[in-house]
């Protein structure tokens, strides 16, 4: 995973936070993201899509990455600009291979209770990439006047 680009534009800086492994922390963190989207005039479709992917990435990091272990942290970094939002989420787990996550939409997997988070992130964001160990996910969603929701 390439490093974040240098923070040359102070109007839209990278924000970095270290979160405890508690689902409650997600709502606290997303408040600032949603405020920034709102201020920059992102429409309702974009806001829904970004919020969903943001929550899924953090839920995955806490639940599957950190195993809800309260001694482990999640590192969150994001940058909201008028053109796009970039979100990076890193956990302290052992990593995983995203290619090994079964397709939850097949008939045999449809009733499995897990495995939909990554699919939703990929549907709602423009790019979703994992580092080689599967411990960090990097997502981007570009702002478009015509399309805000999921990409079929």
Partner 1 sequence: MPEEPEVVQVTDCDGVKLVRVMTASILREDEVESFGQGLLALAEVPGRRVVLSFLGVQHLTSLVLGKLIHVHKRLAESGGELRLADIDPHIFEVFAITHLDRLFRIYEREDEAIASFAGKAEA
The contact set with partner 1 (CB under 8 A) reads 22-24, 26-27, 44-45, 48, 51-52, 55-56, 59, 63, 104-105, 110-114, 116-117, 119-120, 123, 149-150
Residue placing its CB nearer to partner 1 in the complex, 98 or 104: 104
144, 83 in Cβ contact below 8 A? no
Residue placing its CB nearer to partner 1 in the complex, 10 or 106: 106
Work out how close the CB of 24 gets to partner 1 at its nearest, in angstroms, rounded to a whole number: 5
Work out how close the CB of 105 gets to partner 1 at its nearest, in angstroms, rounded to a whole number: 4
């Amino acid at each position: 995973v390439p490093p974040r680009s240098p923070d040359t534009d102070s109007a839209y800086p990278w924000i970095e936070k270290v979160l405890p492994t508690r689902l409650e922390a997600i709502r606290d963190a997303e408040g600032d993201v949603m405020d920034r989207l709102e201020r920059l005039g992102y429409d309702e479709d974009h806001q829904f899509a970004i919020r969903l992917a943001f929550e899924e990435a953090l839920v995955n990091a806490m639940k599957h990455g950190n195993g809800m272990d309260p001694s482990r942290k999640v590192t969150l970094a994001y940058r909201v600009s008028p053109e796009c939002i970039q979100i990076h989420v890193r956990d302290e787990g052992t990593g995983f291979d995203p290619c090994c996550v079964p397709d939850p939409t097949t008939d045999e997997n449809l009733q499995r209770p897990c495995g939909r988070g990554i699919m939703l992130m990929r549907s709602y964001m423009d790019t979703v990439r994992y580092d080689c160990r599967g411990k960090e996910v990097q997502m981007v969603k570009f702002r478009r006047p015509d399309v805000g929701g999921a990409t079929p």
